[in-house]
Structure 1
Amino acid sequence: MSLKTWWQGITGRGQTEVLETAPAKMPERAGYEYGIGPGGLTETQQGGALAGSDRRSTLTQLYDAYLACPWSYASVNAIARTVTAGGLVLDWANDGGQDQEERPEKPAAALLLERMLAFCNPRENIRQILRGVVTDLGVFGDAFVEVVWVGNQPVAMYSLDCPSMMPIADEHGNVTSYVQVTDRGQRAVFEPREVIHISLDAPRSGLFGVSPTQAAMLPITSWLFASATSKEIFRKGAPPQIHVDFPAAASQADIRKWDAQYHQQNLGPRNIGTPIKTKGGAQIQELAQSRTVDYLKFLEQRRDEIIAAYGVPPAKVGIIESGNIGGGTGESQDRTFMVNTCQPIAELILEAFNFHLVTLGFGITDWRLKFADIDMRDSKVVEEIRDMRLRSGAWTLNRYRADIGEPAIEGGDRAVLVDRTNFVQWDDMDAMSQAGVANRLRGTSLAMAVAASDKPAELSDVPEPPASAEPPPPAETLKQRYRRRLAEALAELPGGVDERAA
């Protein structure tokens, strides 16, 4: 397919407009995509995500594992809800990053896009569609969204079932159409512009991504088997492992009868504590103690492997580890979760939506879709940061009050610096500096000279005392001062009185 045909199908423009924006012939690609045979991808040949299975069977297996394992379900949902928590908004693409630039009014095309996102379709809203996209990426590694066009403008969006979607492509990976075939045999064909296909990273490239659920299939399968084993153990009342030695004369019928009675009278929660009764000389010995604790530890180990494959901290799925600093929580884990797990997925979705909807669908160049930011920090941490900004002078009091939704007060627009119990306005920092220097110079020979010349003194101007100078006389103590003043008072009395006589 030539670039002219593809661009005309994407934009709905006429032949004259295509000739102005596209070359006469699109250069053909030389490389091949992994997993695509000589015939390309067809409805009957889509390749398999796992060896020995077709793609639909593999995706169905991943879906069953996602529903059966609660840690897989919790991890995928934690990522989907965190990514879409702020909602999808249209923001001005300010390339300069200068906050003082005045934001222009939204063009008519941007208002049409916002109206379409506010509606999407009669059954789903944009938040549900985006959560479904993130969930499909976490389970299947791919997500598909249907875009309904009227002429050259999108008017609605619908979610599509990933296991039933099949890209039709040549051996070079160029997609020519999408086909959906449901389990009931329903079939639909889509043009490339009618489907937004988002894929996670794949180590060998290709049209399909690799999901964390597929990468965690081994610990998920192990967890499911261990959980099923524990279920059977507790369903039988966690009975001990015993060995019964029957007498040599016991027949097979007697052994089967005893076994049936044991299952009926001793197994199950309602029979816990019922003693094992024998007759005819049978000997019972316990082979091993209960290993329930080992089973539970195994489940915890597999659980940690599962959530690690998804990149979700334990606290995000309800696991509180009291042995860790902070109980398994903290801002560092939150930031790691956002930067390493949620943000890369969000960027993949935004790149696809901005290309198909903003650029191609509505022709908007200076506005971009983004997920609104949500402050997920603890309220105490937020208040401590505000207080530090106020004390350091980075914020004024009115800026602080505006951030917490309180009205401004008179005099609150002056920044202050709080140093322990002292505080000073930043407007008075020059006077504060001069006062500090004057305090250092107090009692020196330079103090009078500095006071006479209205020049702020520098600490470097303070002369060093001579090495041979005599040390100043010691200060008079309170007792010595009292004695001196007493002697002066006695001497002034008539006739004079000696201090020692007094």
Structure 2
Amino acid sequence: MGAVSRIRSWFTGRPVTEATPAAGMEGANAAPRRGYEYGAAALSATNSQQAVSESQERLQILTQLHQAYLTCPWVSAPVDLIARTVTAGGLQIVYQTEEAGKKVPAEPPPVQRLRRLMRWVNPREDMVQLLRQTIIDLKLFGDAYIEVVRIAGEPVALYTLDATTMSVICDQHGEVTGYVQQLDGIRKVEFEPDEVIHISLDAPRGGIYGVSPAQKALLPVTAWLFTEATIKENFRQGDPPRVHVDLGSAQDTEVQQWREQYRVNNLGPKAVGTPVITTRKGEVNILDPRKVMDYLAASKQLRDEIIATFGVPPAKLGIIESGNLGGGTGEAQDKTFRVDTIIPVKALVLEKLNYHIVMLGFQIMDWAWEFGEIDYRDSKVVEEIRDMRLRNGSMTRNQYADEIGNPPVDGGDVAVLVDRQNIVLWNDMAAMSKAMIAAKTKGSNLELDPEADPEEPTEFQKAEKPAPPQMIAPPAAPGDDGTDPNLSPDDRPGGKNDATQGTPPKESVYGRDVRKLNESWERAYRVRRRQALNELPKVGP
């Protein structure tokens, strides 16, 4: 332990080790481990020997991965996409509580210092850049390292460390005792365990280092590079066919001269279509036609293998293939990408940061870092979902207004059920249910309540179906007895030709109301017709 580490230990009152538990986590690593870790050094090997041997072997692999990132777009594009998507919403501090509706308390001083660290992590990078670089190293090399600078035990700055030059120092059980950074074989830095945050991906045999998707895809990446190099050379020479030329008994000097003329006259983009000319009965035979389409198909197949290793759907990289069976819609691919690729990376990075920075660094247990979420759905889809929730009563009108930024209205906190014909308050659902059941069972042998009167309307029917207004016949005009003045006395009511003479049949209540209504309308019609005739202008003398 160096002098700086001892001073830090005196200020914080705790030993500087990677597994130092935070407040409330005592005893987390009380029992030592007995098993051995794959890739860890044996007891006879010193830390320096371990670091040197590992750095030489890993440096070759990590250098190949870095070159693949620079030369193969199907390696760099998925890695960059994952890093941008994870950090698109930024980093935020969230109060952790399991009680629904609990009010968020005021931020204590440690949380305020943590927020200050988020605003300034180092002079060169901001928090989003640091996290994006960390995720790029994680997906490309399988390991990412963050240097933590502390003052009086609390982190005050964070820096990214080059993953290709970092080595983990540990014993044969995998217990980390430090980190070493070796650069160009001359410069060397040793870190204490609490000065570096090491994030690693899963490995099939475990170990202190992770295995990245880029390393798993190294074979198809190499094949893709050779395929693209072949295509480049093919197009550089103008895509010539492979030919066999028989020059007969030509001398070596003539053969060499013919080869040079063939390169000048028949190879290259400018020579496309130029015929091959021979003399002295020389024969030219095409061995195989042009194979550019085969090369392109191979490049496409290798591309799909590479991006499948990273777990990125083709549509997320701008690869649109119509009629591709099993490809799914853009929304389905986006959901698969987030569930299978983005969420695991978020959880892995946040777990390390919250443990080393929030819990160990600032001793904060009720607050945590989380990545902000961004809704990428189409606005029409979002509005259709809100409208559906509003109609089925799972959302009130004021909740809808709050989501879109509109003010609330009176009565908007009551949920409603909207069907094809009616709008019913959820408070009246019990009465609505009874009314519908009563309507279905009326006239049958089923009775819900033997003591209830089936003819008496329910409370819902009384509230929602008011009685119709009473029909009032218009009064008769003065001098109008309701009969046509042009009729003869015998045809008028009571005359000898009146059809109603004799004993009339018994009239029902409904028939009487219909007859009186018709007589009222006829009387009103005759009065209005007489009035209209009187208002007509007189013509002639």
Aligned to 2:135: 134
- Mapping 1:137-156, distance limit 5 Å: 137-156=138-157
Q: Name the counterpart of 1:124.
A: 125
* Amino-acid identity (%): 48
Aligned partner of residue 167 in structure 2, secondary structure: strand
Per-residue deviation, 1:67: 1.5
Deviation at 1:144, TM superposition (A): 0.3
- Cα–Cα, structure 1 residues 147 and 449, in superposed 2: closer, same or farther, change >3 Å? same
Q: Which amino acid aligns with 2:211?
A: V
8 Å contact from structure 1 (residues 239, 267) kept in 2: yes
- Cα deviation, 1:403-452, whole Å, max 9, x if unaligned, reads 12223334433322121243322233234334423433556799993234
- Partner letter of residue 383 of structure 1? E
How far is the alpha carbon of 1:118 from its aligned partner? 1.0
Aligned position for 2:47: 42
Measure the CA separation in 1 of the matches of 2:173 and 2:444: 87
AA matched with 2:127? I
Taking a change above 3 Å as real, the CA distance of residues 9 and 201 of structure 1, as seen in their structure-2 partners, is farther
Pair 1:72-2:69 in alignment: no
Q: How does 1:320-399 map to 2 (within 5 A)?
A: 320-324=320-324, 328-399=328-399
Q: 1:148 to 1:446 in 2, by over 3 A?
A: closer
| 1:143 and 1:162 in contact (8 A); partners too | yes
Change in CA separation of 1:306 and 1:48 when aligned onto 2, cut-off 3 Å = farther
- Deviation, 1:140, is 0.6
Structure 2 counterpart of 1:192 = 193
Query: How do residues 6-405 of structure 1 correspond to structure 2 at under 5 angstroms?
Result: 9=9, 12-13=12-13, 27-38=31-42, 39-40=44-45, 42-46=47-51, 54-94=57-97, 96=98, 98-183=99-184, 185-247=186-248, 249-324=249-324, 328-405=328-405
Q: Which amino acid aligns with 2:92?
A: V
> 2: CA distance between counterparts of 1:281 and 1:176?
79
Amino acid at match of 1:34: Y
Question: How far 1:182 moved relative to its partner?
Answer: 1.5
Aligned amino acid, residue 133 of structure 1:
T
SS of corresponding position for 1:105: coil
Amino acid at match of 1:310: F
Write the letter of the residue equivalent to 1:228. Answer: A
The TM-score normalised by the length of structure 2 is 0.77
CA 1:281/1:44 → structure 2, altered by over 3 Å: closer, same or farther?
Answer: farther
Aligned partner of residue 163 in structure 1, secondary structure: helix
In structure 1, the residue matched to 2:478 is none
Q: Where does structure 1 lack aligned partners over 5 or more consecutive residues?
A: 458-490, 497-502
Call closer, same or farther: CA 1:107–1:360 in 2, change over 3 Å. Answer: same
- Could you tell me how far apart the structure 1 residues matched to 2:264 and 2:308 are? 43
Contact 2:41 2:170 in 1 (8 A): no
Distance 1:44 1:231 in 2: 44
Contact 2:50 2:169 (8 Å CA) reproduced: no
Q: Residues of 2 paired with 1:180 and 1:260: CA distance?
A: 54
SS class of match (2:93): strand
Instruction: Check the 8 A contact 2:442/2:454 in 1, yes or no.
Output: no
Separation in structure 2 between the aligned mates of residue 320 and residue 79 of structure 1, nearest angstrom: 19
Instruction: Compare CA radii of gyration and give the structure with the larger one.
Output: 2
Does the Cα contact within 8 Å between 1:35 and 1:47 map onto a contact in 2? no
Classify 1:45/1:431 alpha carbon distance in 2 versus 1 (closer, same or farther; 3 Å).
same
State how far apart, in whole Å, the 2-side matches of 1:422 and 1:40 are.
81
Per-residue displacement from partner, 1:11-51 (whole Å, max 9, x unpaired)? 83168x99x9978x96543222111231457344348889x
> What amino acid does structure 2 have at the position aligned with 1:92?
Y
Report the 3-state secondary structure (helix = DSSP H, G, I; strand = E; otherwise coil) of the residue aligned with 1:450. coil
SS of the aligned residue for 1:451 comes to coil
Corresponding pairs, count:
452
1:414 counterpart residue number = 414
Cα pair distance change 1:297/1:9, threshold 3 Å? farther
Task: Write the letter of the residue equivalent to 2:107.
Answer: K
SS of equivalent residue, structure 1 residue 368: strand
Tell me how large the CA RMSD over aligned residues is. Answer: 3.2
Distance in 2 of aligned mates of 1:204 and 1:342 = 24
Distance 1:48 1:301 in 2: 37
Quote the Cα distance in structure 2 between the aligned partners of 1:362 and 1:238.
64
Cα pair distance change 1:216/1:494, threshold 3 Å: closer
Alignment-mate amino acid for residue 160 of structure 2: S
Residues 13 and 152, structure 1, Cα contact 8 Å, conserved in 2: no
Q: Is the 8 A contact 1:93 1:367 kept in 2?
A: yes
1:172-223 CA-partner distances (Å, limit 9, x unpaired) = 2222221212127322221111110111011111110011111111111111
CA distance in structure 1 between the partners assigned to 2:460 and 2:428 by the alignment? 14
